[in-house]
């Protein structure tokens, strides 16, 4: 394990506004290393130390192990490209169910150390360690190391950890020594990490802001930090002022412990191989997207005011259309009209498509929806009852127990035919009481190595 925790008391240059206190707060960021590929190597020990990629079902790299990355493999490359530079590559189908189980276990382990855990993504977490030194009888570095070791020992994957005064700094620290690194960034040492860090590597700063910063003569994170508050407020909006504060060691972004229940949008997409030019089949794939997106919206008691439809051709070219709905809804029966309209505005006979997708946007809580006098209340109440029953049946008997006839043509062929129809082993070994649509959320059992 690489460990970087220089806690010497070097004084900052007087021009730096960074706080001189080492630990007014302690925020940890944990980032799993090559998570999907690492999960495959943990479940299948024979893959350890070998170049492994996931995404066989899509025909492109979804995730690559560090052994594969060392050979030049990058995310998004096609399988034909990969085999030219790495003939011995091992390609497996993505098993998102197993990855989710690993993720759940990882967050459970982190909560044994602190109740303040934010599930930032499937393989990332923020943890507030402030005030825990007394409970664990040791400094924050020791607590972070124990957390890292617990995850790696119990799950068989490696993670990189960074600890600093704010979320932005912690995220920088976790990437400082990937993979399998542990970096502490106390207040007195922040400038060492920022002086050579390109400003575009800072979480929250995108390419347009990077270009603007370069026009102002700012190319590193430390140059950005050392600008005074008046300069930042004059040239930047509040989100970038917040980032400036976070880089200065002032914790602005809280660690959000609540499970995500609010969304700005919900998107669902389906890739299928081989690509198809069959109008009915492609629309059926789109219909399935709509049903999945609406089911998620209903689960979170949300309704959409806009519908976005997109198609991706065999040549990876995307086209899309956005439609405003006459009233917010999360019921597919209300949306099939706009869906079909959008589909025919995009679909071209003679072209082959490999992916379809929908986005439910302008989401509002269902309790806040105000219907107009022209809305048919009886029809709305009928739809509420119908889809409530559909959701109950899906919960009891599995996904797609009841679905719309428009989605039936998806059953004409498997999602991925030929070489890519490689079912993950987890789905080949069902537990008693499971079926292909209803699975038990059992933890993944790991043997300590």
Cβ proximity of 10 and 193 under 8 Å: no
Report phi then psi at 33, rounded to 5.
-85, 120
Residue in 344, 267, 279 with CA at minimum distance from that of residue 308: 267
Mean pLDDT of the chain: 85
Residue 393: predicted pLDDT: 84
- For the stretch 325-338, pLDDT in tens is 888 899 998 899 99
Q: Which helix (H) or strand (E) holds 323?
A: strand 318-329
Is the pLDDT score of 59 beyond 60? yes
Record the tokens describing residue 351, joined without a space.
């072209």
More confident site: 381 or 51 = 51
Least confident of 179-183, 207-211, 274-278: 274-278
Residue in 403, 418, 436, 391 with CA at minimum distance from that of residue 79: 418
- For the stretch 109-162, pLDDT in tens is 999 999 999 999 999 999 999 999 988 989 999 999 999 999 999 999 999 999
Which residues does the annotation mark as catalytic?
A: 124
- For the stretch 10-54, pLDDT in tens is 333 334 444 445 788 999 999 999 999 999 999 999 999 999 999
Residue in 5, 78, 38, 10 with CA at minimum distance from that of residue 316: 78
Task: Write down the CATH number for the domain with range 265-418.
Answer: 3.30.1490.100
Report domain extents, the chain: 2-32+99-247, 265-418
Mean predicted confidence (pLDDT) in 262-275:
83
β-pair partners for 302: 365
Domain 2-32+99-247 bears CATH identifier 3.30.70.270: yes
Residue 409: partners with Cβ closer than 8 Å, 6 or more residues away: 278, 280, 281, 283, 284
Task: Annotate 100-152 with DSSP letters as a single string.
Answer: HHHHHHHHHHHHTT-S-EEEEETTEEEEE-TT-HHHHTS-HHHHHHHHHHHHH
Report phi then psi at 6, rounded to 5.
-65, 110
β-pair partners for 265: 361
Residue 435: predicted pLDDT: 57
Cβ proximity of 118 and 170 under 8 Å: no
CA 438 from chain centre, in angstroms, equals 23
Give the length of the chain.
449
């Amino acid at each position: 394990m690489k460990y970087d925790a220089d806690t010497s008391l070097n004084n900052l240059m007087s021009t730096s506004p960074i706080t001189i206190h080492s630990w007014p707060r302690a925020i940890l960021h944990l980032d799993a290393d090559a998570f999907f590929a690492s999960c495959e190597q943990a479940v299948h020990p024979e893959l350890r130390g070998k170049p492994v990629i996931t995404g066989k079902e899509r025909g492109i790299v979804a995730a690559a192990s560090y052994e594969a990355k060392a050979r030049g493999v990058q995310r998004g490359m096609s399988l034909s490209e990969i085999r030219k530079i790495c003939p011995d590559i091992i390609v497996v189908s993505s098993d998102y169910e197993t990855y989710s189980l690993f993720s759940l276990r990882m967050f459970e382990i982190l909560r044994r150390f602190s109740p303040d855990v934010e599930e930032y993504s499937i393989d990332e977490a923020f943890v507030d360690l402030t005030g825990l030194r007394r409970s664990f009888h040791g400094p924050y570095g020791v607590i972070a190391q124990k957390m890292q070791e617990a995850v790696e020992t119990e799950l068989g994957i490696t993670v990189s950890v960074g600890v600093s005064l704010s979320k932005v700094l912690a995220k920088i620290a976790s990437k400082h020594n990937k993979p399998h690194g542990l970096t502490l960034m106390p207040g007195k040492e922040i400038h060492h990490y920022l002086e050579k860090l390109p400003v575009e590597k800072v979480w929250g700063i995108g390419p347009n802001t990077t270009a603007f910063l370069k026009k102002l003569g700012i190319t590193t994170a430390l140059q950005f930090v050392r600008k005074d508050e008046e300069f930042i407020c004059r040239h930047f909006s509040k989100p970038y002022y917040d980032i400036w504060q976070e880089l200065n060691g002032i914790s602005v972004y809280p660690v959000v412990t609540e499970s995500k229940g609010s969304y700005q949008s919900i998107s669902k997409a389906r890739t299928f191989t081989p690509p198809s030019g069959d109008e009915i089949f492609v629309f059926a794939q789109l219909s399935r997207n709509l049903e999945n997106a609406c089911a998620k919206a209903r689960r979170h008691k949300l309704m959409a005011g806009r519908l976005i439809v997109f198609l991706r051709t065999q040549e990876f070219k995307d086209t899309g259309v956005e439609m405003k709905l006459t009233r917010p809804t999360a019921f597919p029966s209300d949306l099939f009209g706009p869906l079909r309209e959008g589909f025919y505005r995009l679909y071209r006979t003679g072209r082959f498509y490999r992916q379809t997708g929908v986005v439910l946007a302008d989401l509002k809580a269902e309790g806040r929806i105000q219907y107009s006098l022209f809305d048919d209340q009886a029809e709305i109440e009928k739809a509420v009852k119908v889809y409530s029953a559909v959701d109950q049946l899906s919960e009891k008997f599995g996904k797609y127990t009841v679905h719309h006839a428009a989605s039936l043509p998806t059953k004409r062929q498997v999602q991925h035919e030929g070489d890519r129809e490689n079912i993950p082993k987890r789905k080949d070994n069902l537990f008693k009481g499971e079926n292909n649509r209803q699975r038990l959320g059992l933890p993944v059992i790991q043997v300590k190595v």
